[in-house]
Structure 1
Amino acid sequence: ARGEATARGEAMFVPVGIKKLTNVAIVRYKSHGTRFEIACYKNTVLAYRSGFEKDLDNVLQSTQIYANVSKGVFAKDEDLINVFGTSDQEAICVIILQKGELQVSDKERKAETEHVFRDAVMTLVEKCVNPATNRPYPPGMIETALRDIHFSVDPKRSAKQQALEALPKLQEIFPIKRAAMRFKVNVRSDKAQELIDFIGENDGEIETNDVGSTEVSLTFTVDPAKYRAFDKFVKDVKGRLEVVTLAVMEEGTSSGTFDEDTMKSTVKQAELDKAEEALAKMEISRPVVARSAPDVQSRATQLETLSSDDANILVKRGPIAALPEDHESRRERFADIDKYQEGWEVELRAREGSSIVDAVFYSPEGDLCKTYADARRKAMAAAKS
């Protein structure tokens, strides 16, 4: 009978209390062990919460409160009164909109996260420069750098705030800084010298200085982090502060002085150093366990039993900087030790019957260090003493 009714074009039976909606954004609110949901238009909930949208008719598909929007099941009046103290569904919709959790699919969440990530990239492109050229980096390079430092975004937070929080980590792997802001300040003549001194104290650079009969107008650039300090200073002296340029930078993009390959190798080296330091700490804290197989020796034991005569020496003991070109990567990596303490020497040995190359280090006092991590740690300790 149902099939015949459908064939005749008649509406199918829908139980009372059920109304199905599709293509909606669901906001869910749980309290007192009961779930309540409201059906909203897509992309309007966040606009309402941020204050850009104030008309509920543009946000809600219906003022009906649901127990389950997907199944079209209405919430019971007694549950509404028990939780909210009223059965006024429009008033309850406002509460759910403000306090409820917006339900987002995995696909939508991924798209939103990627959108915030792109915004973060453009924030850094628009507000940061290469200190050497004062030019911005191209978006592709910034994106690569952020992914290399494993930067992840929170879709619920400001992209600008998260981008600027990532700046210190980016500065560890390649040269980048906030572009300076340009300000124009007007103060009374008797406050001019006080303003000039304040600009100098905050590492600002004066570009123009127009002196009038009763007023002085200065244009200068300074780090954006100093904005609040200057705003307070100008208010205290009853002057006027105007932002002329949000980011002072040269035209073009900065790509020639620092390429992506250099950046990636820097990231790889930093990660390698961290891994070696962690491994060294593990080796120090690990309890000594007797080995059941006496023929298996550790790397340290092997090196200890090898003398300069019976080891297959690839590069004889000498200064780190003297390592030959075919060991350039090791030379660059080990150079970090000489930065902390000069006079270290290195010797490269090949293990018997293996292609593995071991590096052993000798301190300026002649002490043997069997790993790079040990040598680096000893050099750092000497630099601090």
Structure 2
Amino acid sequence: MFLTVSLEKAVIARLVVSGKKFEILVDPEKALEFRNGKNIDLDDILAIPNVYRNARASELAPMSEIQQAFGTTDVYKVAERILKKGEIQLTTEQRNKMIQQKKMQIATIISKRGINPQTNTPHPPQRILKAMEEAGVRVDPFIDAELQVDNVVKRIRSILPIKFEKVVIELKIPAQFAGRSYNILKSSGDVLEEKWLDDGSLQVQISILAGIQDEFFKKISDLTHGNFQSKIVRREEI
């Protein structure tokens, strides 16, 4: 059998049902991604497609107990439930690594959505990470970054001035770049208005997160070689 998950890297995911333990060996990072809603093939998560009573002792759970607890003996259906409802064990090193990754995810989200109200420019992620450290912010590696943003912002606001804002921008893009600009526009924000002008150029109003304004303008500038017109229509707090 070809294993896609190293046994050395694998950790235990455990679910207790009616007082009985059921364990599987999993890739810790992919298991957490799956738990948070990412579509990952279970064969890429399971180190071995077995359900154990004691994984470290390689003691398999009896089929009768699996059937009674889960209503099926299908390993993948059982594994899915354990991953979604159970506890995923992590080593200290794995936990620390995942905490750092989660902190960076949160800082990146805040950087893209928020700005420094004193300068109307985004805070770089590293500045946000430093503020999180100064504020003693703790993050949970098992909880989606999006769900932790509000709490982190509350904690760091006394250290770092921050405001969440959207910017509505009006753009006029020359005809030769208009078609290719559409992917950038659609992936960057919400297109509020669009008008194709008589000369073939595209005039649009788009609402984007204030924190990605510089990045957005760079993409448009790179595409058009700087040959476009823009103006800020308004700013909206979110």
TM range (shorter): 0.5 to 0.7
Counterpart pick for 2:52 among 66, 69, 92: 66
The aligned runs of 1:330-341 (5 Å cut-off) are: none
2:79 aligned partner: 93
2:210 pairs, out of 247, 253, 256, with 247
User: Counterpart of 1:147 in 2: which secondary structure?
Assistant: helix
| Deviation for aligned residue 1:116 | 1.0
Helix, strand or coil at the partner of 2:47: coil
Q: Larger RCO: Structure 1 or Structure 2 (Cα < 8 Å, ≥ 6 residues apart)?
A: 2
Query: Residue 121 of structure 2 contacts residue 211 of structure 2 at CA under 8 Å; is this kept in 1?
Result: no
Q: How has the CA–CA distance of structure 1 residues 134 and 30 changed in structure 2, closer, same or farther, with 3 Å as cutoff?
A: same
Q: Using a 3 Å threshold, how does the CA distance of structure 1 residues 41 and 109 change in structure 2: closer, same or farther? A: closer
Which of these residues, 157, 175, 179, is aligned with residue 171 of structure 1? 157
Aligned to 1:126: 112
Q: How big is each residue's C-alpha offset from its partner over 1:336-369, in whole Å with a ceiling of 9 and x where there is no partner?
A: xxxxxxxxxxxxxxxxxxxxxxxxxxxxxxxxxx
Q: Equivalent residue for 1:14?
A: none
Q: Which runs of 5+ in 1 are unaligned?
A: 1-20, 185-207, 220-241, 253-385
Which letter maps to 1:92?
V
**1:47-103 per-position Cα deviation (integer Å, ceiling 9, x unaligned):** 333443343322223322111111111112332233234444443233323322211
CA contact (8 A) 1:35 1:67 kept: yes
SS of 2:210's partner is coil
1:52 maps to a residue whose letter is: K
> 1:35 aligned to 2:30?
no
- Provide the residue aligned with 2:97 in structure 1: 111
Distance 2:153 2:51 in 1: 45
Structure having the higher Rg: 1
The reply to whether residue 76 of structure 1 matches residue 39 of structure 2 is no
Corresponding position of 1:359: none
Name the % identity. Answer: 27
**Structure 2: 5+ residue runs without aligned partners?**
1-6, 171-192, 198-202, 216-238
| Contact 1:124 1:164 (8 Å CA) reproduced | no
Whole-angstrom distance in 1 between the partners of 2:68 and 2:212 = 60
Question: What's the Cα RMSD here?
Answer: 3.4
Q: Aligned with 2:13: secondary structure?
A: strand
Relative to the length of structure 2, the TM-score reads 0.62
Residues 107 and 91 of structure 1: CA distance in aligned 2, closer, same or farther (over 3 Å): same
Q: Is the 8 A contact 1:134 1:179 kept in 2?
A: no
Superposed, 1:283-294 pairs within 5 Å as none
TM-score calculated relative to the size of structure 1:
0.41
Give how far 1:26 is off.
1.8
Q: 2:94 & 2:107 partners in 1: Cα distance? A: 20
Question: What pairs with 1:235-384 in structure 2 (closer than 5 Å)?
Answer: 242-243=206-207, 245-247=208-210
CA distance in 1, matches of 2:153, 2:29: 30
Q: CA deviation at 1:131?
A: 1.7
Q: Partners of 1:41 and 1:169 in 2: how far apart?
A: 32
Whose strand fraction is larger, Structure 1's or Structure 2's?
2
Partner of 1:151 in structure 2? Answer: 137
2:73 & 2:124 partners in 1: Cα distance? 56
